Structure 1
Amino acid sequence: MCGIAGVFYLDKQRPVDPQILANMAAIQYHRGPDGFGVEVMDGRGAGFSHARLSIIDLNENRARQPFRNADDTLLLAHNGEFYDYQRIRTDLTSRGARFATKSDSEIILHLYPRFGLEETLRRLRGEFAFALYDVREDALHLVRDRFGIKPLYYHASDDGVVFGSEVKVVMAHPEVSRSFNNEGVLHQLMQVMVPGTTAYDGIHQVKPGHVVTFRRQGSSCVVEDRPYWDFEFPEAGYHAGDKSEEQSIETVREGLTEAVRLRLEADVPVGCYLSGGVDSCSIIGLSAAMRQDPVKAFTIGFTDTDYDETPIAREMARATGADQDILRLDGSHLYGHFEKTIWHTERTIYNTLAVAKYLMSRHVRDVGYKVVVTGEGSDELFAGYPSFRQDLFMHGLDDLNESERKKWEAMLGESNALFKGAMLAAEEHNDLYLTDRVGFTPACLQPWLSCEETARTVLNADRRENLAGYKPGQAIAERLDRNMLDGRHPLDRAQYVWSKTMLEGQILTWGGDRVDMANSMEARPAFLDHHLAESATRIPPLHRIKGRREKYVLKEAMKGLLPKTLYEREKFAFMAPPATVNKDKWSAMMELAADFLSEKAVLEAGVLDPSGVQRLITEAQEDTTPRARLVQLDAMINHMLGVQILHRNMIAADIPALAAKRAQDLGWVV
């Protein structure tokens, strides 16, 4: 995996400065420290750059990107991995293709001319983001993988397009301005983002499963944003009648086994992340069965025992003969690296789990590993979060008798009490716009939508006034495809909404790529293999959640690999302990707040309101504040810190100058 960047000017005769492209690569050096490349197409107003992390084909000169094809009509910069690419190469070779490298990336240059973009994308399997300039079409295609595992941002203006793997890469171009937009800041404070948006004026994301095409036509540029894949569930009638539970179990077993097998392939050692959850334990169990040598297992431990999962992780490591490496963290570790983590996430974080994962990826790289297989995506496929169980009970179990209903109510009342205020709302929150679009307000969004009033109180007066008529729930609802929601089972609708909001905007950004690639470490989420995902959408809702047992079908599929403790255990959402309920961690948080949330710092940035900020900090220290509110306040304070850090390091900083200096220091001079 790597970092990509580039420009596509509207005036094709405008010269492209190769040093600017090198600077854009240099500022994302962490994504690709193994080398860089720059390619400019003279007379085409197009140029790409690439920072390389060597995973497949370690020959630096042979596999250096950006790639051109043999007749110089295509320019490619690719970030990510294409699995099963050897089979595709064999097929293409039989059709006359001649490959110049062993890189998986090169298959694009041979698929696209033969089959076109739509068929090429259908054949690709993996996590990826790439830019492809086609001379014949005079068009730039920006493509992102199906779930949004790999990031891709762009800025479009009357002059053309600037794109990159990170926001700071786009900002490294001297013609891209740096400022927050009001709506984006409000959503940062609320945690949940509007799909496809960022907090930065004029900078957008390519949405998961989408292609954004910029095509020159005369003196103008036609822009097309279209989906090529979606997380599509069948209509509710598909689930009617009895379905074979054993068939569901076998579907999961076969699909996950294949997904893990593909992700263990690399030209460098591959490890695994291991928490105490069924997801990562399944991954390491399958990996151990496929490998002859012990699997390297990396585990995060917390000093707060309420949030620590290392005992179960140790049990799983012993059962599989894994070589376990535990990194134990406390509050000083988490807030001591908070600012650095925010520089890489480029968005705020509600929980310091992002910092923990940043520190773990650094540790993984330090002990000689570049690749790990992870368990992200399992909860999305098999309804593992407490919010899904709540939505199923509230909206998908109309035929329960009174006795069964009381059992469900009791179960929901006692489950995941630690996470009220974050994973679950303290009280039901109904948003009219989401209810209209989805049929109900998904429980996964309720805790964050309920933060809206509090978030508005900490914005400065001008921003509050500008947002007076803005409705966050409406903005989110309008980005959800009604065609993917209407007629679906309530649990399917809830899972679809999560995949478009929290999965892409949280788990795969500050919980995934951004903190992993911050330390040049590639994470491979096996559950988000789209073949497995498409099979999972056909599994009946009550095979995903069966009574108290969420992810029932996954647990049954992996039963022979899991320790009895884990097999019988309820879902425990993996997160770092809140500072508002941990004295030592609160002290570490306040030490950082003294710098970024002081009245002077807040006034200088001009984004937040000093009195509003102080009110929340004071409320978090009051003995009478309910625990659920303390968890919510922990998230809000983390978000306020994040906004201030982002302003100082990305908005107020001179990013083009920083990128140029980084290139000079690295010797990446063209």
Structure 2
Amino acid sequence: MCGIAGVFHHQTDRSIDAQTLVNMAAIMHHRGPDGYGYQIKPEQGVGFSHARLSIIDLNEQRGRQPFMSADQRLMLTHNGEFYDFKRIRADLTARGARFRSKSDSEIVLHLFERYGLDATLKELRGEFAFGLYDEKDQSLYLVRDRFGIKPLYWTETEHGVVFGSELKVLFAHPDVKREFSAEGLYHQLIQVMVPGSTAFAGINQVQPGYVVKVKREHGRLTVSEHKYWDVNFPNEHDYPGDDVDEEQYIEGVRAQLLEAVQHRMTADVPVGCYLSGGIDSCSILGLASASTQTSVKAFTIGFDSDDYDETPIAREMAEATQADHHIMALKANDLYDHFVKTLWHTERTIYNTLGVAKYLMSQQVHEAGYKVVMTGEGSDELFAGYPAFRKDMFLHGLDHLPEIERLEWQQLLEKNNKLFKGAMLAREEFVSEAFNQKMGFTPSCVQPWLSCSSVALPLMSAELRERVTDYDPSKAIADTLDETMLEGRHPLDRAQYVWIKTMLEGQILTWGGDRVDMANSMEARPAFLDHHLAEYAFTVPPHLRIKGNKEKYVLREAMKGLLPETLYKREKFAFMAPPAHTDPEKWKAVEKLAEQFLNQRAVEAAGLLDYEEVVRTFERHQDPNVPAEEQVQLDAVINHMLGVQVLHHHFVATDVPQQAAQRAKELGWVA
């Protein structure tokens, strides 16, 4: 697990500054504090760099990247983990390959040499992002894992293409412009992003399951992309009926998850577990504990709010598995005290301070001497765990139910979803014509964010607001969705597909995952997002994912033997930090940040927001007559207002190339 960076020029005779490559690695030292490396092919106009976090093959010299093939044709810089690599390496060795390290990364070079890229990608299992240059084809391949667990950004400049693991890595290069786009700002204020985009003009993400190919032809670079994997549910009529053998799917889920967990325990350093009070992380800890002879270290976040704190169940699970349990108790003002630093790592706004909590937790994991933890992310996406999925199942997948059963469902949904209104569920039904045309309905998971458009648009400065007068954010998102993956699918499958393509990649795996974990040099391994497990989960009939009103039914049954009874019977609770309006101390911390970043001078200097609308938003939030669910929504909007101002401070107002050069100097990282 590391950080990667690189430059590819239009012209082969344009020199690449080695120290700039090193500076790009230095500014993401948090991703790779165990060493750095760089390689330049001057006659090819290409150079890579790498910051290393050593987890597999701890030998500093042998594991140093970028890697070159024996004939110098291929150059690789890789971030992430490939599982089952020992089997692949042994097979390749038997076929004549000669490995120079014990690193899992090196298998890419040998697979590519023998079989080409398409066949190589089919063999890769895990979370990864890499840049691969092929001198023979004069092409750079930027590749991202199937779910987007690992980040990878790229941009075009006057002289070529620049790529890296984080935005600040690109911004460390003096050719890369640093400015918000009007559309990017709009989406930051409503939380949900257009897949493949960022807040900044001209800065792109490699989408999950995609390859971006940059090829030099006649002294110019051309960029193309293609999808090598997608979330592919069966056609609705291909599922078995109600008389299906449940046990078949229960056994299948159990076997696939156990295999995924065991693969992710492979490391040359200890592997711990994140532990909340949910089925997902408890299942991971239970299987991990059963798979090893030693006690597993478990890390839990505790909040000083009974409505959001899950430590009692986590403690019960830790005791049942004899885990070495570490609980981090957070107080209200802890979260906003670290808000600004967290956003330097997330590089995008956050609607809830859970991202800050996870940043603080990864700090404690690092202090405990751990570099790797397994996590439960992805379970809700595969097995329909979120409140929005139950709502869509009820509205669009259960129209055959008798009226009395539908009424019971509706009453239970309204009761159980009260806590999430304004955040994970929209306050009121929001209809997007673009989504309706694309998939037949507007998924409940995107409604709370799209419904913020009427609040977010007036918040934008007059100049930027003018640029998006005719812009429809919901259409921009819907247009990126592959219609062939939606056509003929069950409504629940369509809803899960949209969540995976938007909120999973754009939120959970970024500011709730990699970015706050790697901020403290800590690798997270989400076992549920093993693509073998995922492909099996896609075949589970919808009525076994949500059975009656019980979400994640098939997973509950698969893990029933190791879960505490209270957890087995418990309804899904979305892991969130308490919103600001729920605690006076937390609100004071918000106001303190607002005094710094949302004062009139700061707002007008950045040119992103309309100061009068900022003031009106705060006044509305403090109105005692505002309903609780609107306060939840306003909490999110205020977090986003603070966020865009903080991002401007970090990446536009600050001289990032100079910051990167200074960091390299402090570290002693020199070309």
TM-score when normalising by structure 2: 0.99
Q: Is the 8 A contact 2:381 2:500 kept in 1?
A: yes
Q: Is the 8 A contact 2:82 2:124 kept in 1?
A: yes
The 2-side partners of 1:264 and 1:240 are apart by 35
The 2-side partners of 1:646 and 1:157 are apart by 22
The 1-side partners of 2:251 and 2:577 are apart by 34
What residue is the counterpart of 1:7 in the other structure? 7
The 2-side partners of 1:182 and 1:224 are apart by 25
The 2-side partners of 1:583 and 1:438 are apart by 43
- For each residue in 1:178-211, what CA deviation from the matched residue of structure 2 results, as whole angstroms up to 9, or x when unmatched? 1000000000000000000001011100000000
The 2-side partners of 1:129 and 1:578 are apart by 34
What is the one-letter code of the residue matched to 1:578? P
What residue is the counterpart of 1:439 in the other structure? 440
- For each residue in 1:130-155, what CA deviation from the matched residue of structure 2 results, as whole angstroms up to 9, or x when unmatched? 00000000000000000000000001
The 2-side partners of 1:212 and 1:13 are apart by 24
The 1-side partners of 2:193 and 2:233 are apart by 23
What residue is the counterpart of 1:567 in the other structure? 568
Q: Is the 8 A contact 2:11 2:220 kept in 1?
A: no
What is the one-letter code of the residue matched to 1:183? E
Question: 1:598: how far off?
Answer: 1.0
What residue is the counterpart of 1:664 in the other structure? 665
What residue is the counterpart of 1:364 in the other structure? 365
The 1-side partners of 2:441 and 2:348 are apart by 28
The 1-side partners of 2:372 and 2:451 are apart by 38
- For each residue in 1:290-325, what CA deviation from the matched residue of structure 2 results, as whole angstroms up to 9, or x when unmatched? 111111000000001110000110111111111110
What is the one-letter code of the residue matched to 1:606? G
Matches within 5 A, 1:69-80: 69-80=69-80
What residue is the counterpart of 2:30 in the other structure? 30
What is the one-letter code of the residue matched to 1:179? E
What residue is the counterpart of 1:103 in the other structure? 103
Q: Is the 8 A contact 1:34 1:53 kept in 2?
A: yes
Gaps of 5+ in 2: none
- Three-state SS of the structure 1 residue aligned to 2:312 is helix
- Three-state SS of the structure 2 residue aligned to 1:518 is helix
What residue is the counterpart of 2:332 in the other structure? 331
Matches within 5 A, 1:642-653: 642-653=643-654
What residue is the counterpart of 2:601 in the other structure? 600
What is the one-letter code of the residue matched to 2:39? E
What residue is the counterpart of 1:273 in the other structure? 274
Q: Is the 8 A contact 1:416 1:572 kept in 2?
A: no
Question: 1:240: how far off?
Answer: 4.3
- Three-state SS of the structure 2 residue aligned to 1:58 is coil
What residue is the counterpart of 1:218 in the other structure? 218
- Three-state SS of the structure 1 residue aligned to 2:305 is coil
The 1-side partners of 2:417 and 2:409 are apart by 14
State how many pairs are aligned: 670
Q: Is the 8 A contact 1:460 1:608 kept in 2?
A: yes
The 1-side partners of 2:221 and 2:164 are apart by 19
The alignment yields a C-alpha RMSD, in angstroms, of 0.7
- Three-state SS of the structure 1 residue aligned to 2:44 is coil
Matches within 5 A, 1:186-201: 186-201=186-201
Question: 1:591: how far off?
Answer: 1.0
What residue is the counterpart of 2:396 in the other structure? 395
- Three-state SS of the structure 1 residue aligned to 2:116 is helix
Gaps of 5+ in 1: none
- Three-state SS of the structure 2 residue aligned to 1:43 is helix
The 2-side partners of 1:579 and 1:6 are apart by 40
Question: 1:157: how far off?
Answer: 3.2
- Determine if the alignment matches structure 1 residue 250 to structure 2 residue 258: no
What is the one-letter code of the residue matched to 1:346? E
- Three-state SS of the structure 2 residue aligned to 1:39 is strand
The 1-side partners of 2:440 and 2:392 are apart by 11
Question: 1:158: how far off?
Answer: 4.3
Question: 1:522: how far off?
Answer: 0.2
Q: Is the 8 A contact 1:232 1:537 kept in 2?
A: yes
What is the one-letter code of the residue matched to 1:19? Q
Question: 1:127: how far off?
Answer: 0.1
- For each residue in 1:602-655, what CA deviation from the matched residue of structure 2 results, as whole angstroms up to 9, or x when unmatched? 111110011111111111111100011000000000000100000011011100
Q: Is the 8 A contact 1:548 1:570 kept in 2?
A: no
The 2-side partners of 1:109 and 1:243 are apart by 44
Question: 1:93: how far off?
Answer: 0.4
What residue is the counterpart of 1:185 in the other structure? 185
The 1-side partners of 2:222 and 2:190 are apart by 34
Q: Is the 8 A contact 1:7 1:47 kept in 2?
A: yes
Q: Is the 8 A contact 1:3 1:165 kept in 2?
A: yes
Question: 1:581: how far off?
Answer: 2.2
What residue is the counterpart of 1:636 in the other structure? 637
Question: 1:219: how far off?
Answer: 2.5
The 1-side partners of 2:25 and 2:158 are apart by 24
What is the one-letter code of the residue matched to 2:524? A
The 1-side partners of 2:25 and 2:168 are apart by 10
The 2-side partners of 1:354 and 1:261 are apart by 27
Q: Is the 8 A contact 2:157 2:175 kept in 1?
A: no
What is the one-letter code of the residue matched to 2:620? E
What is the one-letter code of the residue matched to 2:317? M
- Three-state SS of the structure 1 residue aligned to 2:495 is helix
- For each residue in 1:583-611, what CA deviation from the matched residue of structure 2 results, as whole angstroms up to 9, or x when unmatched? 11111111111101111111111100111
- Three-state SS of the structure 2 residue aligned to 1:4 is strand
The 1-side partners of 2:125 and 2:587 are apart by 44
The 2-side partners of 1:223 and 1:51 are apart by 26
Matches within 5 A, 1:302-321: 302-321=303-322
What residue is the counterpart of 1:169 in the other structure? 169
The 1-side partners of 2:169 and 2:591 are apart by 31
What residue is the counterpart of 1:481 in the other structure? 482
What is the one-letter code of the residue matched to 2:521? S
What is the one-letter code of the residue matched to 1:616? T
What residue is the counterpart of 2:452 in the other structure? 451
Question: 1:102: how far off?
Answer: 0.3
What residue is the counterpart of 1:655 in the other structure? 656
The 2-side partners of 1:19 and 1:512 are apart by 30
Question: 1:239: how far off?
Answer: 1.4
What is the one-letter code of the residue matched to 2:298? A
Q: Is the 8 A contact 1:580 1:633 kept in 2?
A: no
What residue is the counterpart of 1:133 in the other structure? 133
The 1-side partners of 2:470 and 2:118 are apart by 40
Which stretch of the first structure deviates more once superposed, 512-521 or 460-469?
A: 460-469
The 2-side partners of 1:598 and 1:16 are apart by 42
The 2-side partners of 1:316 and 1:240 are apart by 35
The 1-side partners of 2:603 and 2:42 are apart by 46
Question: 1:88: how far off?
Answer: 0.2
Q: Is the 8 A contact 1:581 1:630 kept in 2?
A: no
Q: Is the 8 A contact 2:192 2:446 kept in 1?
A: yes
Question: 1:272: how far off?
Answer: 0.1
Which stretch of the first structure deviates more once superposed, 486-495 or 456-465?
A: 456-465
- For each residue in 1:12-67, what CA deviation from the matched residue of structure 2 results, as whole angstroms up to 9, or x when unmatched? 12111110000000000000000000100121000000000000000001110000
What is the one-letter code of the residue matched to 1:451? C
- Three-state SS of the structure 2 residue aligned to 1:8 is strand
TM-score when normalising by structure 1: 0.99
What is the one-letter code of the residue matched to 1:3? G
Question: 1:221: how far off?
Answer: 2.1
- Three-state SS of the structure 2 residue aligned to 1:557 is helix
What is the one-letter code of the residue matched to 1:75? M
The 1-side partners of 2:636 and 2:222 are apart by 41
The 1-side partners of 2:581 and 2:610 are apart by 21
What is the one-letter code of the residue matched to 2:164? G
- For each residue in 1:486-544, what CA deviation from the matched residue of structure 2 results, as whole angstroms up to 9, or x when unmatched? 10000000000000000000000000000000000000000000000000000000100
